[in-house]
Structure formats: C-alpha cells, structure tokens
Amino acid sequence: MNKRPHLLLIDGMALLFRAFYATAVTGQFMVNSKGMPTNGVQGFLRHLLLAAENKKPTHVAVCWDMGSKTFRNDLYGEYKANRDVPPVEMIPQFGLAKETVEAFEIPNVGVAGYEADDCLGTLSCRFKDEADISILTGDRDILQLLDDHVEVHLLQKGFGNYKTYTKAAFMDEYGVTPRQFIDVKALMGDASDGYPGVKGIGEKTAFKLVSRYGNLSGILEHLGELTPSQQKKIEAGLEMLHLSRKLAEIRCDVPVAFSLEKARFGQIPETFMELMEELELKMVKRHLVTARINASFIS
C-alpha cells in the first residue's frame, strides 16, 4: 500500500510579515552590499526551512496575496482598511521572497482577487482526500480549515516553534467544530481585518451561542431564548452579521492552477544555493550547508 503524500502549505504572507517585524523593532534593517533590505526574506526562509525539516513533507507550496484588493473589499469597503501600508524597506522583499521560493523549485501560488488564505483553503480542500495536509501560518483564521487529514501549525515566538492543531484538538479546546468557527467569527468580528460582527457580542459569548445552537441559523431560530440584551444586539446588527460571515469564511473554490507533482520536495537545488550567495543571506546558507551534511532535505 502506497503511503499518502504529505503536502506542506505555507502562508507566505504571514511568514514574511512576521519575519520582517520581528527583526525591525529597532529600525535597523539588514541590508546587503547592494543596498537591498533582506531581513524579512532571511527570516521567512528560516521559517520555511525549519518547517520542512520538522514536518518532513513530500510536497511543498507557498501561498501569497496578489495585491491589496480582493472580493472582500468589494463586499465591504472597510475590510482591512485599518492596516498601515507596509514600510518601504519591506516592499521589495515581497518579490524577493517569491524569487527565493522559485529558486528552490517550490510553487508560488496566488490568484488575483483572492487572499493567500483562500489559496490555502482551496488546495487543502482539493487534496485532503489523497494527501495529509499541514498548513504553516501565524493566522488563527486558518483553523477553520482543520479536517481529518488537515493540521494547522501556528507559529509561536522564535523559529521552529509551533502550536499544532488537529481537528480533535481544536474541538477539545474551543468546544465547536472548525466549520462552526466561521460563525463565531461572524458574531464577534475581527478588529485586525476591520469588520465588526455584531457590536457588543464578544468572543466568549460568540463561542457559547454557536456551541449551544450550532450555527447562525440555529441562533436566529432560537432568538427568543437569548437574553434581551443579546436579542437586541443581534437584531440591530443582522445585516452586518451575515456580511461578516461572508468575510470570515475562507474560500475553497478559487481557480488555482496547481500540479501536486510539480510541488514535490527533495534536495536543495544549486540555483537556490547560488541565489543565497548572491543575496548575501549568510545565515540561510550556513543552515543549508548543515542540512546537506545531515541529509535533512532528501526525501
């Protein structure tokens, strides 16, 4: 019997932002001899390489946003409008990070009008029946994608540290299913993404209501059983509640052109080693030399 493939899906946006800001606190950015800032790319690659060593995937892909506007902005103009423009030192590192991924012969995945989350969702849904899926991210929203063959590894402080969720572990911790988490988000909103949900309904109440009534339809059918205050808040925010659910749900039907075979992960390509030399990413290169010695990257 053939062993199931193991596909590691990486949230490129989450890793790059995390790596950039983790090393930009003092305002001192790593710059190579050509004057190119590289702190975000170096941290991004360290996250990627350590995940590949730790999780031992047979296949790897990296998902990205493709611009700042998506279908969610069309639904709600304030979506993510509260976020600052990335610092000028970070702008060139988006393309640079993708270049390093391509040099590693790992597919870069992104579709205009959608977020990296939607590409992660689409690929996990597309391949979960034939492969074991691991998703590496720093975004808790991705937990809604958990399934029998889908795990989520949330980045913790430092490198190579994760909080790993299976579907069962998530349900034990939160008392709802991963799919029900979408309804929780619809109720409580998401300040970082800029949508309010139902004003006055916090996280604790949202989990409690979804756990008790199953979903938004169940809550609305039993509205008379809620406290007068909860009833009033939900009735007043009904339109935003339904809109927030559309914003919270990760799409799994994005037209992603992707071949699992082309995502096969193995030895370190010479092109990647050469690019590390060109970009002067010494820490990454040292890591790769060590990995070659102990054969960490040979599948």
pLDDT-derived band at 25, boundaries 50, 70, 90: low
Q: Assign 33 a pLDDT band (cuts: 50, 70, 90).
A: confident
Domain 6-173+251-294 has CATH 3.40.50.1010: yes
Q: pTM for this one? A: 0.93
pLDDT given for residue 158 in this prediction:
81
Share of the chain above pLDDT 70, in %: 94
Tokens matching residue 9: 């899906």
Q: Look at the domain 176-248 and name its fold.
A: DNA polymerase; domain 1 (1.10.150)
Spans of all domains in the chain? 6-173+251-294, 176-248
Q: Of 85 and 129, which is predicted with more confidence?
A: 129
8 Å CB contact between 141 and 244: no
For range 35-51, the mean pLDDT: 92
Q: What is the pLDDT of residues 157-183, one digit of tens each?
A: 888 789 999 999 999 999 999 999 999
H/E element, 230: helix 228-236
Least confident span in 22-26, 36-40, 129-133, 225-229: 22-26
Residue 258 near residue 61 (C-beta atoms within 8 A) = yes
**What average pLDDT does the structure give for the chain?**
92
The fraction of the chain above a pLDDT of 90, given in percent, is: 80
Distance of CA 185 to the CA centre of its chain: 16
CB 268 within 8 A of CB 225: no
Query: Which tokens is 24 given?
Result: 């930009």
Q: Please tell me the least confidently modeled range out of 23-37, 108-122, 154-168, 180-194.
A: 23-37
Output 87-94 pairs: Cβ under 8 A, ≥24 positions apart.
87/20, 87/24, 89/20, 89/24, 89/29, 89/37, 89/39, 90/20, 90/37, 90/40, 92/36, 92/37, 93/16, 93/20, 93/37, 93/38, 93/39, 93/40, 93/41, 94/16, 94/64
Res 293: pLDDT: 45
Instruction: Report which of 133, 161, 163, 162 is spatially closest to residue 147, judged by C-alpha positions.
Output: 133
Contacts of 72 (CB under 8 A, 6+ apart): 79, 80, 115, 246, 247
Mean pLDDT of 16-41: 83
Q: Which amino acid is at 189?
A: G
